[in-house]
Amino acid sequence: MHRFAIKYLFFIFVLICLPGLANAQKAKKELESKKKKLQDDIQYLNGLIAKTTDSKQASLGKLTAVSRRISLQEQLIETVSKEIDMIQEQISASNDTIGVMEVKLGDLKKEYARMVVDAYKTEKGYNKLSFIFASKDFEQAALRMRYLQQYQEYRHRQAIMIDSSSKDIGRKVTVMQATKDEKKQLLESEQAEQNNLATEKNEQQKMYNQLKGQEKQYRKELKEKEKASQKLDNEIKKLVEEEIRKSNISTTKTTTKTNSSKPLELKLTPEGQALSQNFANNKGKLPWPVVEGVITRPFGIYSPMPGITMDNDGVDIATSKGAIARSVFDGTVSYVSEDPEYGQVIIIRHGDFFTVYRHLKDVFVKIGDKVKTKQTLGSISYDEQNQITDIELEIWKGQNKLDPQDWLFVKD
Mean pLDDT computed over 304-329 = 87
Do 259 and 205 reside in the same domain of the chain?
no
**pLDDT tens, 185-226?**
878 888 888 888 888 888 888 877 777 766 677 677 777 777
Reported confidence tier of residue 31, pLDDT bands at 50, 70, 90: confident
- Co-location of 119 and 96 in the same domain: yes
Q: Which helix (H) or strand (E) holds 350?
A: strand 343-350
- Picking from 153, 178, 210, the residue at the C-terminal end of a domain is 210
Helix spans in 248-313 (H): 253-258, 270-281
Task: Tell me, yes or no, whether 185 and 251 share the same domain.
Answer: no
Examine residue 216 and state whether it is found in any structural domain, yes or no.
no
DSSP secondary structure letter of residue 405 = G
Of 6-15, 102-111, 148-157, 234-243, give the lowest mean pLDDT range: 6-15
Q: Is residue 257 part of a domain?
A: yes
* Side-chain half-sphere CA neighbours of 90 within 13 A: 24
Q: At 396, is the pLDDT very low, low, confident or very high (cuts 50, 70, 90)?
A: very high
Least confident of 107-121, 301-315, 318-332: 107-121
Angle between helices 138-212 and 60-125 (to 10 degrees): 160
CATH number of the domain at 271, please.
2.70.70.10
315 and 362, same domain (yes or no): yes
In a domain, 412, yes or no: no
Total domains in the chain come to 2
Q: Identify the pLDDT of residue 256.
A: 46
129 in the same domain as 33: yes
Hey, which residues does 382 pair with through a beta bridge? 389
User: Considering the domain boundaries, does residue 284 fall inside one?
Assistant: yes
Nearest to 358 by CA among 407, 398, 316, 388: 316
Within a domain: residue 135?
yes
Q: For 127-134, what is the mean pLDDT?
A: 60
Three-class DSSP category at 110: helix
User: Could you tell me if residue 99 is inside a domain?
Assistant: yes
18 and 135 fall within a common domain: yes
Which of 189, 210, 231 is the endpoint of a domain? Answer: 210
pTM of the complete model:
0.68
Pair 171, 138 in one domain: yes
| Amino acid 39: pLDDT | 86
Does 385 fall in a domain?
Answer: yes
Domain, as residue range, for 138: 2-210
411 inside domain = no
Residues 194, 245 within the same domain:
no
DSSP string spanning 115-134?
HHHHHHHHHHHS-HHHHHHT
Largest CA distance in the chain: 120
Residue 268: DSSP 8-state: -
- pLDDT per residue over 115-130, tens digit each? 666 666 555 545 665 6
Residue ending a domain, among 210, 230, 265, is 210
- What percentage of the chain reaches a pLDDT higher than 70? 75
Do 26 and 87 share a domain, yes or no? yes
Confidence of residue 251 (pLDDT cuts 50, 70, 90): very low
130 and 22 together in one domain: yes
200 and 238 housed in the same domain: no
153 and 277: one domain? no
Reported as a pLDDT band with limits 50, 70 and 90, residue 255 is very low
